[in-house]
Structure 1
Amino acid sequence: MTCVFDIETIPDFHLLSSTFGYEGTPLQIAQAAFKAQYEKSGSEFLPICFHRVISIASVICDEYGRFVKVGNFGNAFIESAFIESTPSEGVDSINEPTSRTFLDTLESTLLSEFWQFINKNNPKLVSFNGRGFDIPTMLLRAMRYNIGAWAYFEQKNPALNKSKWDNYRVRYCEDFHTDLYESLGHFGAARNLNLDALCKMLDLVGKYDMSGAQVYETYLGESISDKNTESTDIESKKAALEVINHYCHSDVLNTYWLYLKYEVLRGVLLESDYYALLEILHERLPKDKPYSQIFTATLKRHIADYARTNAQHTDSITLDSI
C-alpha cells in the first residue's frame, strides 16, 4: 500500500498571542506574526511549531501503484462538529470554529487518525517536501496531544524490512518514504523546485484555483461565500474547511501523478504501465468535486495523446515491414 499525503496549516494564533502578546482578530494576529517573522528573517514563513494542522489529505493506492481513492482524514468529526448552536457567553465552545477547543479537537483528530493509519498499515509514503515540512510539523503537533507515531520511528522489524538503514526516517531510503522534493532535487543540490512549477513543466494540472499561501485567509478571513448572505460563522467556516480539504485533495492528486512520472524516470514503470495507471485514475477519480473536471480533462488528453502516438508508431512499423 502507498499513501501519498499532504497537509494544510494555519497559524496557531492562540499560541502566537500567548507567546508574543499579539492582539486582535485571528487574521490580524496571523498577519502581525508574519510581519515580525519577515523583519527577523526575511521570510514570512513561521517556525513549524506555530503551524496548526487543519487538513490532511491522501491518495491511497495498492502495491502496484493503482489508484484506490482520494480523501481526507477527520471526516466523521468534521461532519458532526459543525452543528448550529448558541454557545454560552464567554465559553470556549467546540461549536465555535475559531475557538481553541474546536481547533485543538480538529487537529488532534486529524493527527490521531493519520498516525493510527501509519501505525496499523506501515504504508509506503509519498510526498512533496514531506520530510522538510509535513512530517516534522505533524510529529511536533502530535506531541501536544500525546499521540503515538511508533511505526514511523521503528528501526528493527525484519517482518516489515525495517532496519537501521532502511526505515521511514532514513533520508535516502525511498522504499519507505519517497519525498519527491528531495528525490527530484537530488537531496539538496537543487533547492528551488516547487510542485506547481514541476506540474506545469510536465503538463499536469498543478495549482488551478488557490495556493497554500491562501489557506489561512480562507479559514481565518471573511466568509468565502457572498458577503451579502446571512450565513453564520459556523456555516462559513464549514464551507472554508471544505474548500481547503478539496484544495488538499488536488495537491495529493498532483503529487501522485508526479510520482508516477518519477517511477517511469527511474525505470520502475514502463510507459505502457504508466498510461494504464492513468486510465485507472481517470475511471476512479471522484466525479463530483471542484477539481474533478480539470483533472478528468487533463487525464483524458494525456491518455488520448498516448493512444494516438502509439497507433501512429504501430502504423509506421507496419509500413516499414512491407
Structure 2
Amino acid sequence: MSQHTIVFDLETVPCTETLARLHRREALTDVEAVEILGEKFPKLPLHKVAVLAALIAERIDGVWKIQSLGAPHIGDRTEVDLISAFAARVDSLRPTLVTFNGNGFDMPVLRYRAMVNGIAAPGLTSRPYFKRYDQAHVDLCDELASFQSNAKASLDDLCKMMGLPGKPEGIDGSKVWEHVRAGHIQECANYGETDVVNTYRVWLRYELFRGAITEEWSAPMG
C-alpha cells in the first residue's frame, strides 16, 4: 500500500492584466502597476503564479521517499500551464497537501487564479483541500500554532530553531517581482524549491511528534 504527499509553495508577482481589468484600463506597464499598488500587498486574485514549487513524496511500507522535486516557472510555461499541470497531478494522486501558510495564501491564490484564467481544475476539489480543519491539507503554520495567530512562527525561524537550514540569503517573497522583472526567474524557482524542502523537513518532524513515523524514518530528506 502506498500513499502520497505533495508539499508545495507559490511564488507570485502582481498580474498587470488583471489589475488593468480591475481599473478598467486597456493595459498597464509594470511601472504603472507599481504606481497603483504602492506599498500595499495586492489582493489575492491579483497575484499571478510565477513559480509553483512542489515536492512529491510517497510512503511505501511506512517509509517516506521523495519521488520528485521541481519548481516550474513562467519563464518556461504559462501560468495556465502551471496551474493546470499541478491540478492534474493532484487529481491523479489524491495526496495529502502540505504547505506553510497555505490556508492564508497559496490555496486561495490557486483557486482565484484558476477562476480568473478560466481553468477547469477539479483536482483541487477532489478532496476537501479548502476545508480549514481537514487533514487533506495540512497547513503547518496553522496546525503547529493550534490556529492561534499569536502562536505562529515563521518557517525560517522554525527551521533554524530545529537545527535545520533556513531560507537562503538575498531573496524572499517580497523580492520575487523585482527578480522576475530583472530576468532572474530561475533564482525565484530555486528559492521556491528551498521553501518546499524546508516545509517537508518540518512536516517530517511533525509526523515524528504525532507518532506517524519513527525516528529512524524522520531524516530531513526522507
* TM-score band, normalised by shorter chain: 0.7 to 0.9
Say if 1:6 and 1:252, in contact at 8 Å, map to a contact too.
Answer: yes
Give the match's secondary structure for 2:150.
coil
SS of residue paired to 1:263: helix
Q: Letter of the 1:50 partner, please give it.
A: L
Residue 12 of structure 2 is aligned to residue 13 of structure 1: no
Q: How does 1:1-322 map to 2 (within 5 A)?
A: 1-20=4-23, 25-26=29-30, 28-35=31-38, 38=39, 44-63=40-59, 64-73=63-72, 78=76, 106-154=78-126, 167-174=128-135, 176-190=136-150, 192-209=152-169, 210-220=171-181, 222=182, 237=183, 240-275=184-219, 278=220, 281=221
- RMSD across aligned C-alpha pairs, in angstroms? 2.4
- Summarize the Cα distance change of 1:120–1:196 in structure 2 as closer, same or farther, 3 Å threshold: same
Structure number with the higher strand fraction is: 2
Residues in 1 aligned to 2:53 and 2:166: alpha-carbon distance in whole angstroms: 16
- TM-score w.r.t. the length of structure 1 is 0.61
Give secondary structure in 2 for the equivalent of 1:242.
helix
State the 1:153 CA deviation. Answer: 2.4
Higher normalized helix content (fraction of residues)? 1
The answer to whether the 8 Å contact 1:73/1:113 transfers is no
Separation in 1, partners of 2:145, 2:185: 32
Which amino acid letter does the alignment assign opposite residue 255 of structure 1? T
Whether the aligned pair in 2 keeps the contact of 1:59 and 1:69 (CA below 8 Å) is yes
For 2:34, the aligned partner's letter is Q
Task: Tell me how far apart the structure 2 counterparts of residues 24 and 149 of structure 1 sit (CA, whole Å).
Answer: 28
In 1, the alpha carbon distance for the partners of 2:175 and 2:26 equals 21
Give secondary structure in 2 for the equivalent of 1:193.
coil
Distance in 2 separating the partners of 1:208 and 1:31 = 26
Distance in 2 separating the partners of 1:252 and 1:132: 16
Identity %: 31
Offset at residue 53 of structure 1 (A): 0.6
Count the aligned residue pairs.
214
The CA deviation at 1:129 is 1.0
How many Å separate the matches in 1 of 2:160 and 2:80?
35
Deviation at 1:106, TM superposition (A): 1.1
> What is the deviation of 1:262?
1.0
Give the number of the structure with larger relative contact order, counting CA–CA contacts within 8 Å between residues 6 or more apart.
2
**CA displacement at 1:201 relative to structure 2:** 1.4
Gaps of 5+ in 2: none
Letter in 2 for 1:274: S
Distance 1:113 1:74, change over 3 A: farther
Structure label with greater radius of gyration: 1
Aligned partners of 2:118, 2:71: CA distance in 1, in Å?
A: 22
Q: Offset of 1:16 from its aligned partner? A: 2.3
